[in-house]
Structure 1
Amino acid sequence: MQREGSIGGSAAIRIRVTGGVLLVAHLAFVAWLMLRPLDVPWVMPANLRPLAGIRADLALGWAEAAHRIGEGLALLAPLGVLLPMAHGRLAASPFASLARTAATGALISLGIALLQTGVPGRVVDVDSLLLNTVGVVLAHLAVVPAGRAWLRRKGERVRHGDEAAVPQGETAQGRTPTIPRVGIAP
């Protein structure tokens, strides 16, 4: 039995499985990248003041600021697409989906920041939490609504195509199945 707004059982399962596998792979990559110890002679103190690090980046010049801010936005941005993909619902409220995705992205970013406190050479930066969350939200807004709309249209075309294929005079359930190996009694 299909839920309203779904494109079909096997297609929805493929989307969920693909989203789940890509989500796990991305989180493993982020964990490897962000939780490796750094061999540095000196470490900056933790930044617990919002936007202080971004202001410091902007003071370095536009090219360096764009590079550092872009890294912060891009690190967890794929989660904005992968989390709804792993969830697999086409008929979801756009605002609720955005709120769930943003909250999950912020919690994952916070978890990474907390785990970094025990890694040599890594320090907590509240601006990375902000940039990571904004990156997740921007990716979600850029891809998910259009992707869901496209998948819903695709599902409607498939459903309408099936209904048009039913010969006139037959019900939508189809013909009664026959077993060709069994002969008809005289």
Structure 2
Amino acid sequence: MQREGSIGGSAAIRIRVTGGVLLVAHLAFVAWVTLRPLDVPWVQPPNLRPLATIRADLALGGPAAARRIGEGLALLAPLGFLLPMVGGRLHVSPPASLIRTAAAGALLSLGIELWQTGVPGRVADVDSLLLNTVGVALAHALVVPAVRARLRRGAERDGPVPLLQEETSQGRTPTIPRVGLAPWTDAPLAPDPYR
């Protein structure tokens, strides 16, 4: 049985499996980049003031600022399209999908920042959390709506995908589960009129 609005058939399975493999590979890369110890002579204190590091990067000016801010935006950006790819849903509210994906990216970034407090040479930075979340949201907004629209057009061209295997041209056959009496009742059993 498929969920309402999900992609149907073997194409859905291939898309979701590919998305899952890419997601695991990307998360392994992110863990390697962000959680390995650094051998540095001194470490800056953690930044808990929003936009302080971004302002400091912008004060550097030019390519150095663009590189540092771009790295923060790009680190988790692939999650913006990999998470919906793993979900495999075509018919979903775009704002709800964006909020759900950005929230997942923010939680993952928060987890990374908290883990970095125990890694030698790494410190937590609230601006990394902000940049990572914005990167996830931008990637989602730029990629996912266009891909979903294209997949929906392809699904409409190929014909409707039934939500349940039991569906026919007349609709689903309703099933009613049999309900028995509780074992502690003293009510006499009535004869079954259908026997």
State whether TM-score is above 0.5: yes
Equivalent-residue separation in structure 1 for 2:98 and 2:84 (angstroms): 9
Equivalent-residue separation in structure 1 for 2:2 and 2:153 (angstroms): 16
Shift of 1:52: 0.3
Shift of 1:7: 4.3
Shift of 1:2: 6.1
Aligned counterpart, 1:47: 47
Q: Structure 1, residues 109-153: CA drift from partner, whole Å, max 9, x if none?
A: 000000000000000000000000000000000000000000000
* 8 Å CA contact retained: 1:73, 1:135: yes
Number of aligned pairs? 163
Aligned counterpart, 2:185: none
1:11 aligns with 2:8: no
Over 6 Å off, 4+ runs: none
Q: Mark the CA change 1:87 to 1:3 in structure 2 (over 3 Å): closer, same or farther.
A: closer
1:105 aligns with 2:105: yes
Higher helix share: 1
Q: Mark the CA change 1:124 to 1:6 in structure 2 (over 3 Å): closer, same or farther.
A: closer
Which amino acid is the alignment partner of residue 121 of structure 1? G
Equivalent-residue separation in structure 2 for 1:3 and 1:116 (angstroms): 38
Aligned counterpart, 2:154: 154
Which amino acid is the alignment partner of residue 70 of structure 1? G
**What SS does the corresponding residue of 1:49 show, helix, strand or coil?**
coil
Aligned counterpart, 1:131: 131
TM-score, length-normalised on structure 2? Answer: 0.79
Unaligned runs of 5+ in 2: 161-168, 170-195
Q: Structure 1, residues 36-77: CA drift from partner, whole Å, max 9, x if none?
A: 000000111111000000000011112111000000000000
* 8 Å CA contact retained: 2:7, 2:89: no
Percent identical among aligned pairs is: 80
* 8 Å CA contact retained: 1:6, 1:152: no
Cα RMSD after superposing both structures: 1.8
Q: Structure 1, residues 95-119: CA drift from partner, whole Å, max 9, x if none?
A: 1111110000000000000000000
Aligned counterpart, 1:22: 22
* 8 Å CA contact retained: 1:6, 1:155: no
Aligned counterpart, 2:88: 88
Shift of 1:3: 5.8
Equivalent-residue separation in structure 2 for 1:2 and 1:103 (angstroms): 25
Equivalent-residue separation in structure 2 for 1:28 and 1:150 (angstroms): 30
Equivalent-residue separation in structure 1 for 2:116 and 2:5 (angstroms): 41
Equivalent-residue separation in structure 2 for 1:11 and 1:122 (angstroms): 42
Most deviating of 6-15 and 116-125: 6-15
TM-score, length-normalised on structure 1? Answer: 0.83
* 8 Å CA contact retained: 2:7, 2:88: no
